[in-house]
Amino acid sequence: MTNMSMTKYNIIRFALICTSFFLFASNITAQEDEGAELLKPFRARLQESSKKVSIPLLPPIDNQPQKQEYNNPDYTIKVSYPSPTVRPLAYTVSENQSFHKFYLKGGIGYPLSPNAELSYHDIFNKNLKISAQLSHISLIAMDSAKNYNQGFGKTHFDFGATYFHEKGVALGTQLGFNLDAYRFYGHHQLSEILPDSIDLFPGQPRVSKDSVQQNFFEFFGNLHLFNHAQNSLKLNYRGDLDFYYLNDRYNANEFSITPKTSVEKWLGNGKNKHRLGADLFFNFTSFNNDSTGAGRVLFNFHPFAELNFGIFKAKIAANLGASENKFFIYPDVHLKLSLVDGFIEPFAGVNGQMKMNTFRSISLYLPFISSQNEFRHTGSYEFYGGLGGTARGISYELRASYFMNSQMPLFLNDSTQKYLRFNILYDDINYVHLKGTFDIEVFKNLNVKAFVAYNLYTQIKNYQRAYHLPVLESNIALQYKLKNLLIKAEFFLNSGVAYQELLTKENKNLGFLYDINLAAYYWFGKTKQNIGIYAELNNIANNVNPRWYLYPQLGLNGRIGFIMKF
């Protein structure tokens, strides 16, 4: 049998398996609406409303920046297209529900850094929901500063609309764009390392902004359809079509389109209901630059069964699919036992998946990336166990994992582009990951959140170190509310990041990166607190140690502003 015949045979066989699962899922019952939550990712600050921290393919990194990180905000690296989440219930809006339609936030900081956020949300005739958001933040670097090209700018806009039909079907769309500007300001550190005989920018006594400028423009969109009320089959479903186009200043561009679908049904009565369902997505991504162009395909089918037997819960699932002409099967199993009214919950499991590295996802994580890289899929296994629980204002999770990754991305300075950008290296890497999260309500108005993670890289196949991957990270956040005043304090630590020294090629670790931040918010009024002011003081210790080699962080900085919501 020829290779082409074998490929057609495998695709037909895989499609029959998927069809069989969906036919089986049509004989079960749907659950009622439990609501939906939108989580906005940012630099590894602890989320205000989340009780647990997700684990990306790379070890957990600082991915929630509420504080202003001017030169390089860290993001969780999104190396996959996660399976869509089905709304367990119909979307309904109470006639008496009160919410703010209009939100405006503005401020100015030092060094000069204007920022603004504007959003509008409304519901018309009880069945048309619209939303629009516009935001901008930038740092205008001072010419007198040592790192005078350390500026950046980020602008975002999106508009969305969803129509809820009386027959129980909702149809919507979202369109938007991102315009981000950075500079390869690492030339300041580079000039101190290289000998005087080497001039990276000949004829320029002062490096111009245009010489080190990088711009990213992204246009993105989504079409979605889901049931917002129970149907005759008592089946919950959702379908999405995601797409984006991204380009940069150096003629690199990427196009991606991802159709996704999800179905779910619920079995049983009372509290102990079982959930059966499946997620299916297909992704095509094409990346092109001056020298190369390549398209990649990732197909993933994720059938699952979530079983609830009271104190014992289990998830039995798998990720089946095809990536770059190769089929894969990964297990996805999670077991949990709930004791002492949920305060002691031991758990264990294994999770495997094929993830996708794209120009878009990695440039969000590391904006100083070279435009001449190639991107590969990454296979990942995680074997884990731990202990968690929630009771009386205390929530915690202790987790130990062992990761086995094939073609995992590392980052190393690119010598062919004046060392100012980073190349991607791929390697097979195994590591131990230890993580602890705590959320404690000390008393009524005082809340403490803490997160600590440690990664021990036990096996690296081709390279000596896990370049620019985190080793030790920690967050501690305190929040205190006194009538109209809200006070926040945060401490962030990152250390042990490996890099390769420029001249000697010696492997070293970056210095301790720690950050201490304070913020205060005051709302006017006793009942309707629609107008407020805020002040933030960031990096009080003035620590400028880099997260990326040659790129020091911004030192002491602050910001003041106002907030309005109606």
Nearest to 566 by CA among 515, 535, 528, 538: 528
User: How confident is the model over 397-410, as a mean pLDDT?
Assistant: 98
pTM for the whole structure: 0.81
Residue 246 confidence class, pLDDT cut points 50, 70, 90: very high
Query: Does 278 have pLDDT greater than 70?
Result: yes
Q: What is the pLDDT of residues 533-551, one digit of tens each?
A: 999 999 999 999 999 999 9
Amino acid at 280: L
Query: Does 386 have pLDDT greater than 70?
Result: yes
Lowest mean pLDDT among 82-91, 241-250, 277-286, 307-316: 82-91
Question: What does the pLDDT read at residue 500?
Answer: 94
User: How confident is the model over 383-400, as a mean pLDDT?
Assistant: 96
Question: What does the pLDDT read at residue 381?
Answer: 98
Question: What does the pLDDT read at residue 197?
Answer: 59
User: How confident is the model over 108-130, as a mean pLDDT?
Assistant: 94
* Residue 449 tokens, joined: 């959140």
H or E segment to which residue 8 belongs = helix 3-25
Question: What does the pLDDT read at residue 392?
Answer: 86
Query: Does 302 have pLDDT greater than 70?
Result: yes
Residue 114 confidence class, pLDDT cut points 50, 70, 90: very high
User: How confident is the model over 559-566, as a mean pLDDT?
Assistant: 96
Q: Is residue 285 part of a domain?
A: no
Query: Does 291 have pLDDT greater than 80?
Result: no
Domain coverage including residue 463? 403-566
Q: Is residue 507 part of a domain?
A: yes
Query: Does 163 have pLDDT greater than 90?
Result: yes
Question: What does the pLDDT read at residue 294?
Answer: 83
Phi first, then psi: what are they for 27, rounded to 5°? -110, 25
Q: Is residue 476 part of a domain?
A: yes
**Considering its fold, how many domains does the chain have in total?**
1
Query: Does 528 have pLDDT greater than 70?
Result: yes
Query: Does 3 have pLDDT greater than 70?
Result: no
- Using CA of residue 194, residue 198, residue 204, residue 210, what is the dihedral sign? negative
Query: Does 5 have pLDDT greater than 90?
Result: no
> Taking a C-beta distance cutoff of 8 angstroms, is the pair 356, 377 a contact?
yes
CA–CA distance from 384 to each of 342, 365, 435 (Å)? Answer: 20, 25, 11
SS (H, E, C) 119-137: EEEEEECCCEEEEEEEEEE
Lowest mean pLDDT among 169-183, 259-273, 549-563: 259-273
Question: What does the pLDDT read at residue 47?
Answer: 37
SS (H, E, C) 425-478: EEEEEEEEEEEEEEEEEEECCEEEEEEEEEEEEEEECCCCCCECCCCEEEEEEE
Taking the C-alpha atoms of residue 233 and residue 263, their distance in angstroms, rounded to an integer, is 12
Q: Is residue 288 part of a domain?
A: no
How open is the CA angle 80-85-87, to the nearest 5 degrees? 165
Nearest to 566 by CA among 38, 94, 120: 120
* Residue 552 tokens, joined: 């020091």
Say whether 507 sits in a helix, a strand or coil.
strand
User: How confident is the model over 145-167, as a mean pLDDT?
Assistant: 91
Q: Is residue 504 part of a domain?
A: yes
Whole-angstrom Cα Rg for the chain: 25
Query: Does 401 have pLDDT greater than 80?
Result: yes
Query: Does 37 have pLDDT greater than 70?
Result: no
Taking the C-alpha atoms of residue 50 and residue 397, their distance in angstroms, rounded to an integer, is 12
Question: What does the pLDDT read at residue 415?
Answer: 78
Cis before residue 552, ω within 30 degrees of 0? no
Measure CA of the first residue to CA of the last residue in the chain; give whole Å.
68
Q: Is residue 105 part of a domain?
A: no
Question: What does the pLDDT read at residue 144?
Answer: 61
Q: What is the pLDDT of residues 53-66, one digit of tens each?
A: 333 344 433 333 33
Q: Is residue 181 part of a domain?
A: no
- Using CA of residue 8, residue 14, residue 17, residue 21, what is the dihedral sign? negative
Sort 308 into a burial class: Cβ within 10 Å, 0-12 / 13-18 / 19+. Answer: middle
Q: Which residue has the higher pLDDT, 218 or 81?
A: 218
Query: Does 276 have pLDDT greater than 80?
Result: yes
Lowest mean pLDDT among 175-179, 364-368, 413-417: 413-417
Question: What does the pLDDT read at residue 468?
Answer: 97
Chain-wide mean pLDDT for the chain?
83
Question: What does the pLDDT read at residue 324?
Answer: 82
Query: Does 446 have pLDDT greater than 90?
Result: yes
Query: Does 400 have pLDDT greater than 70?
Result: yes
Q: Is residue 276 part of a domain?
A: no
Question: What does the pLDDT read at residue 90?
Answer: 36
H or E segment to which residue 143 belongs = none
Question: What does the pLDDT read at residue 32?
Answer: 36
**Most confident listed range (269-278, 343-352, 413-422, 502-511):** 343-352
Residue 278: left (phi > 0), alpha (psi -120 to 50), or beta? beta
Taking the C-alpha atoms of residue 465 and residue 544, their distance in angstroms, rounded to an integer, is 23
Beta strands in 228-273 (DSSP E): 236-248, 253-267
Question: What does the pLDDT read at residue 417?
Answer: 79
User: How confident is the model over 121-127, as a mean pLDDT?
Assistant: 90
Residue 103 confidence class, pLDDT cut points 50, 70, 90: very high
Percent share of the chain, pLDDT over 70: 80
Query: Does 408 have pLDDT greater than 80?
Result: yes
Query: Does 17 have pLDDT greater than 70?
Result: no
